[in-house]
Structure 1
């Protein structure tokens, strides 16, 4: 059974970097293509409870976010973030690494190796 889960977007170089780092470290990882298999609200709330970053950091504030007329100030609580990501999974920051009761966003890239080593 893998001891690491990576919520992955294959189109993202930072997400691919996380897979490469896990492989180089010899860590068995379950890769979850979250855009093909979006997390439901309960799974997102569980992830947010483990996340070492603020809940708002899990939301990408990119052009799509702005095009939807969204305001970052509305997405700071775990509940609001989960509701948004259920509706728009593409707004989830990536990659997300989960190990045991801990999770991080793998940005910047150097966070990944440190997380794998801990």
Structure 2
């Protein structure tokens, strides 16, 4: 059985679409609502390392205190950025999906299809109606 974890925000359409595509592959993931249960600093550092992205790449600007905290300052260290994410979990971009084939920030949501070990079982369209998977389970884009 494939073990998948998603760091999820149910208020985010991209996160909801990603979760739905995971479930469309007949897998029920472990869902961590990261605003209620934020990852520890150690876990967040591990996730970033496993994604192979800079810390700054995981910062969310829209709908967060990014600007008021001055996080756009390129001189800020990774530790300072991590401190901000620990103090304000809303700054952590989502959804982050963890599975045996890798860890990925799934923005856009269909990026999850690159690391899902099992095929989509049925057609899938995002909440906005955009078709992503056809009736045979094939990715459309």
Q: Which residue of 2 aligns with 1:71?
A: 72
TM-score (norm 2): 0.72
Structure 2: state its 5+ residue gaps. 119-141
The alignment's C-alpha RMSD in Å is 2.3
Within-5 A mapping of 1:1-118: 3-63=3-63, 64-74=65-75, 77=78, 79-100=79-100, 102-117=102-117
Measured after TM superposition, the shift of residue 82 of structure 1 is 2.6
TM-score (norm 1): 0.84
Structure 1: state its 5+ residue gaps. none
Measured after TM superposition, the shift of residue 101 of structure 1 is 7.0
More helix by share: 1
Measured after TM superposition, the shift of residue 89 of structure 1 is 0.4
Runs of 4+ aligned structure 1 residues displaced above 4 Å come to none
- Specify which structure has the bigger relative contact order, considering alpha-carbon pairs within 8 angstroms and separated by 6 or more residues: 1
